[in-house]
Amino acid sequence: MAFEFHLPDIGEGLTEATIVSWRVPVGATVGLDEPMVEVETDKAVVEIPAPRAGVVLHHGAPAGATIAVGSLLVVIGEAGEVWVSGAAATPRVSPGRQAGVAKPIVGHLEEGPTSESVSGKPRALPLVRRLAATLGVDLSTVRGSGPGGRIVRGDVEAAGRGSGPAERVRMSPTRLAIARNLTRSWQEIPHVTTFGVADPKALLSARSLLARAGGEPVPLEALLVLAVVPVLREYPEFNAAVDGDYLVLRKQLDIGIAVDTPEGLMVAVVRSADTRDVAGLSAVIVRLAAAARARTIAAADLRGATFTISNIGAVGGGYGTPIIPYGTTAILSVGRAEEKAVVRQGSVVVGMELPLSLSYDHRVIDGARGRAFLAAVITNIEGITK
């Protein structure tokens, strides 16, 4: 009997995924747990194995399409079997649905000959109304070309062209996830950002010595983690989370490292950072960063950071106002070290300055604690050794 397999929730809170490529075409045989399809979630490209052995009878969506969790992904049956949409198949309960209840709607609803509903409002689906709001189009001025005079997407896009040429490009699942998470953080967390500057001479010297000794570059983030870890122990509210009326002071130090990838910024998590030396930190940071850029990083490695370090200096940045990752209370942004006219022992000389920006949750951290935390980090950066 044909087995209908629906898109599962393969990530924490996943709502949809985009089909990247089908590994097994319709009509081909697939074995149990063999790679069947690649999908792009909001964090990574994930390979979904076949839930059973058999012949692929139907693809629920082509490559490039985005489908919701619970939607039909694939149908697998026996050789020579014919699957008909809507026919009885192996029962399966999708999230929030009952097996056999949700069926595809074929055709369209019959409507009257005008583009206005009984309420007098233009006929348009919610998705089309949101598009009109985005483009600044007044639906009452649009003539619908859809069934029964319904206003469809093309009608709104055509009406919006009067303001100039534009192209609508759907954001990738990764970019959509970034947008959702940052919006939630910005809306719910009262941000405060404090700035400081460190003399990076010791930091850069230690990095150079370690690279020569080990024969390969040492990521700056590895040394920054070493500088931050003891300060997080001294100021535990910076390694915490707000949960209703409670502040959860985390005992583990799982440091998030912001990684710039072609798909957007990802935060890879170095677990138990306080138990690793500089060589161990370097190895795991290099591995995670490479996996994030290649879109092969495990979803678990992108969750659960307790504090985040963002090295914006790697892309030429200086000071910034970093947004706190949701579920944490602080983030440290480190800019590019540059030569400046600085005062050293009462004289103005050419020296190096490392710009630092610390954003923290003002609900639980006051300004004095924020300045004290950053001052302690600066002290550790300026006193770091190999």
Catalytic residues: 362
Q: Where is 226: in which H helix or E strand?
A: helix 220-234
Outline where DSSP puts E strands in 298-346.
Answer: 307-311, 330-334, 338-344
Q: Which tokens go with 270? A: 């170095």
Strand 307-311, strand 255-261: pairing: parallel
Name every residue whose Cβ is closer than 8 Å to that of residue 148 and which is 6 or more positions away in sequence. Answer: 109, 110, 111, 112, 113, 114, 115, 123
**If you ran DSSP here, which 8-state letter would residue 334 be given?**
E
Q: Report the alpha-carbon distance of residue 232 to residue 250 in Å, rounded.
A: 10
DSSP 144: P
Residue 345 identity: Q
- Report how far residue 363's alpha carbon sits from residue 374's, in angstroms, rounded to the nearest whole number: 18
**Kind and range of the H or E run holding 280:** helix 278-294
Q: Cβ of 354: how many Cβ atoms within 10 Å?
A: 24
**Which tokens in the block code for residue 265?**
């910024």
Sequence-distant (6+) residues with CB within 8 A of 105 are none
**Contacts for 229 with CB less than 8 Å, ≥ 6 apart:** 253, 255, 273, 274
Q: What is the spatial distance between Cα 129 and Cα 135, in angstroms, rounded to a whole number?
A: 10
Question: Residues 166, 167, 173, 174: what is their CA dihedral angle, to the nearest 10 degrees?
Answer: -60
Query: Could you tell me which residues are beta bridge partners of residue 72?
Result: 6
φ, ψ for residue 81, nearest 5 deg = -75, 145
